[in-house]
């Protein structure tokens, strides 16, 4: 009997020792995690949340409580693409100019950069309104700041922002000649989204026949677009865009228009002086491109081309 009690007592001691070892390991692991994660400034999560919503009143409350207006979002809270973003960037992205103003008045750094190199003006140009863009320009934001992919605020406004934001950047003197990582100018970006009003604004100072990394001009891009691109093609031709420039595959604007089956576009490009006998790197002419469609639209384009020969 005494022997069984001794064995039971020994088992209890062993179990307690094992539990103690496990507890020590867990505590040490927790300490390492705490040491590895830098403490975030008081109010950071709250001010980021308020900036995301563009809530000017809530931002004023955080500013009054001395929250850091320049604190970057903690990685634990960041969604894809948000790494390094500050409250000012989130406010600009929200599209709320009053929220941007609150942070600027509180001393937010106007040219702070996120991990991808974007500043607040880039977010405002692409996703906000002209009031936010003007506020940031007035606060001294760099007009021609470049992201990692070499986008500028003007390019973002041309590709996805409002016409008013584009106007504000042009009026402030934004450079129209810069190219992004893919060699696209702001004009090419506007042609890609078939926005004729933006194209017309940019025609006042952009290099008309600039080419991207694939040799595409704004005209070549527009000629490959849907019917929504017809006004863009017309505006570019009226401004003197060269219809003879082929891309790196030898494809001309006329070939792209023929491939789209757009007879009116083909006729306009021919009238502007496009060469009918040009061939791409595979030896195909505009007529070949039209016939390859094997449909009524292709036949109509082929007739237009033959009549012009």
Range of the domain at 291: 197-309
pLDDT averaged over every residue in the chain: 89
The reply to whether 119 falls in a domain is yes
The reply to whether 189 falls in a domain is no
Q: What pLDDT score does 41 carry? A: 52
The reply to whether 109 falls in a domain is yes
Q: Higher confidence at residue 32 or residue 282?
A: 282
Q: What pLDDT score does 76 carry? A: 87
209 in the same domain as 166: no
205 in the same domain as 140: no
92 in the same domain as 150: yes
283 in the same domain as 215: yes
Contact 207, 177 (CB under 8 A): yes
The reply to whether 258 falls in a domain is yes
217 in the same domain as 109: no
135 in the same domain as 231: no
Q: What pLDDT score does 214 carry? A: 98
295 in the same domain as 216: yes
- Averaged pLDDT for residues 210-218: 98
pLDDT one-digit tens code per residue, 129-143: 999 999 999 999 999
Picking from 21-25, 171-175, 191-195, 268-272, which range would have the lowest pLDDT averaged per residue? 21-25
- Averaged pLDDT for residues 209-230: 98
299 in the same domain as 203: yes
141 in the same domain as 222: no
Q: In percent, how much of the chain has pLDDT > 90?
A: 83
302 in the same domain as 201: yes
pLDDT one-digit tens code per residue, 90-107: 999 998 999 999 999 999
3 has a pLDDT exceeding 60: no
* Domain CATH for 234: 1.25.40.20
Q: What pLDDT score does 42 carry? A: 53
The pTM (predicted TM-score) of the whole model is 0.84
166 in the same domain as 252: no
- Averaged pLDDT for residues 168-177: 98
The reply to whether 63 falls in a domain is no
pLDDT one-digit tens code per residue, 245-304: 999 999 999 999 999 999 999 999 999 999 999 999 999 999 999 999 999 999 999 999
Q: What pLDDT score does 38 carry? A: 46
The reply to whether 227 falls in a domain is yes
Q: What is the number of structural domains in the chain?
A: 2
The reply to whether 182 falls in a domain is no
205 in the same domain as 165: no
pLDDT confidence tier of residue 16, bands split at 50, 70 and 90: very low
26 has a pLDDT exceeding 80: no
The reply to whether 51 falls in a domain is no
């Amino acid at each position: 009997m005494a022997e069984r009690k001794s064995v039971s007592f020994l088992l209890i001691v062993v179990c307690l020792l094992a539990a103690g070892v496990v507890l020590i390991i867990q505590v040490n692991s927790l300490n390492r995690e705490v040491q590895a994660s830098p403490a975030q400034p008081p109010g950071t999560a709250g001010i980021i949340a308020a900036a995301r919503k563009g809530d000017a009143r809530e931002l004023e409350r955080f500013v009054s409580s001395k929250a850091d207006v320049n604190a970057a979002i903690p990685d634990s809270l960041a969604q894809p693409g948000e790494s390094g973003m500050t409250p000012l960037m989130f406010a600009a992205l929200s599209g709320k100019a009053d929220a941007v103003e609150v942070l600027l008045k509180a001393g937010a750094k106007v040219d702070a950069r996120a991990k991808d190199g974007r500043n607040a003006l880039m977010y405002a140009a692409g996703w906000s309104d002209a009031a936010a863009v003007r506020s940031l320009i007035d606060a001294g934001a760099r007009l021609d700041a470049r992201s990692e992919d070499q986008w500028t605020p003007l390019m973002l406004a041309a590709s996805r922002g409002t016409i008013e934001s584009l106007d504000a950047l042009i009026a402030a003197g934004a450079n129209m000649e810069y190219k992004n990582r893919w060699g696209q100018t702001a004009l090419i970006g506007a042609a890609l989204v078939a926005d004729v009003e933006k194209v017309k604004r940019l025609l006042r100072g952009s290099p008309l026949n600039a080419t991207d990394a694939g040799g595409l001009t704004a005209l070549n891009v527009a000629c490959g677009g849907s019917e929504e691109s017809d006004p863009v093609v017309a505006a570019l031709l009226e401004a003197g865009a060269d219809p003879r420039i082929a891309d790196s595959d030898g494809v001309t604007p006329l070939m792209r228009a023929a491939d789209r089956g757009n007879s009116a576009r083909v006729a306009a490009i021919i009238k502007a002086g496009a060469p009918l006998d040009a061939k791409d790197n595979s030896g195909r002419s505009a007529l070949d491109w039209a016939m390859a469609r094997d449909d009524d639209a292709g036949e109509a384009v082929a007739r237009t081309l033959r009549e012009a020969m």
